[in-house]
Structure 1
């Protein structure tokens, strides 16, 4: 009897390992359901579900000798680092290595690390295996980070805006809808570089707006008209040489000085009465 053996064709998945990792990160961060991630990243639902539940093992990152830390621990660490960077709490290279050192000490793991803390070689390998990069973050005040990421704050704001525009009958009068806000240029930006996912922006929350600032107060309406801005310098007095040349400054620009370069009640009151109200007009 002659037996015929048919060689089965190995079908390669039509998604990359990076795409699979990203989909799992979204699921673990609860920004997507398994079903939604399956459709967005075009990965079979069963594959994502089994990977998420751990019934098919973890994604093997290394080719060759095993990693010092267990693969599941290293993968959890990488996912956490990406999540922290996404929400404004990015960790530096040193902080990550110290965190691993604490884990090794608490769990009494035997490692080749000096004093239980990994060195530069381990970090470079960890960064490469999990598609991480080191970048300078954008310093971000905690209150601002919370405001733009908290849906309850966002929804409440737009509900209030809708009621206000309706009550004041301003929906069809964009020229009468003005927005005023202050911003600042910090002379003391954060310098710590943090680790985050490749190709994605990272931020690192700070408690205040910085040590030294120059504050700008700007206002514009819904059709793009602007009024003269206010510039606040750090100092006890305002000096003429701080002003922009007449032919280059915005007409009517107001200037002020405060001990820390920040907005103060008296400065804003003067600007509101002497510059803002006159510029808005009678209507």
Structure 2
């Protein structure tokens, strides 16, 4: 069915230029994953010589018609009482100093939709991120305040110190014994194929699935897992992707958490030379117990610096560009209304990664080198961070100079008040310096497994790996 038919009977009486403009807008919405802020409304209206307001109204009507078909006749929004319950739950979480992420809100909204016999239009019955943002705006869910863009990547003195501490711990980890060869202990420094990193892959889509990949320090890549939301998978998704890929199915969400990590660890121990890296916020007691059973050494990265210290993050741009090319080709061949299911996503993502790594075979090796993790070269990562920190401090000093010069001269009787004010500011600065942000503190956790038996002889754990991940708590 063409996009113009989604608006129902009104489409038959719609002028042809408006129909064409609506189809163009729907195509842009598909390309931008439903983000109306990225649609060229004015340019499209001028191209087809239609009114912008009328175009917006017809495009929204066409979009609502398409979403209602996905919902199979069930309501596609939560009733007011359900939204009130969701807002109350989020507020209670914030009152308990337990911030709620967008993904957690989506999962909770899906649960309430099941209680109230309604359904969201997204794959797996999950609402979109745009719906969550609109919900926050409607209900003024108080404390989820977005950081200004780019502030999460600022280099602070605390984060620099955490990175320096990480490299000292990393150097010690490279000296740990990974396995025994002929009775001789072999360290990670001698066996870089056992140094691994784990992270979710780029190009995630709202179709109820995630992709997890483990790159090695030698520059090799090994796809690890697809996490799907649902009760069962009805086709072999791994057949569309790389070999040795696990398929995990979770009933409530496709988010990687302690449950998914605990299920993923044994698979990695069976298919890889040994090892996994984990996000620090997902290392719950169950996942830690499984890691101990599988004999993993885990090193956590400091929060706020994973874009500089995590190798897989360095490859996201190249992989996303390749995925965009592959997806645009698929869209040109199949059209904007073609169904985009999970099997198609797996196939396109695999093709995009093959193209990205074929174009630059040293992509992963260069990423490890850029992070300074392998070969070990801390200055490779620390020198740019020091330069950024110095530039930030210089800019802050330059911004503070005009304001200080513009302040009026102190009156004779106000010296005591000025001294008290300066004392308060100094005490506040000292308190801030003494209590760094917990998210910037590096955490190191070594998990050693039990003794293994080989040919009847006792030996150290054969499967061990030094791994790095994210610690965002």
Q: What TM-score comes out, normalization by structure 2 length?
A: 0.17
Relative contact order higher in (CA < 8 Å, ≥ 6 apart): 2
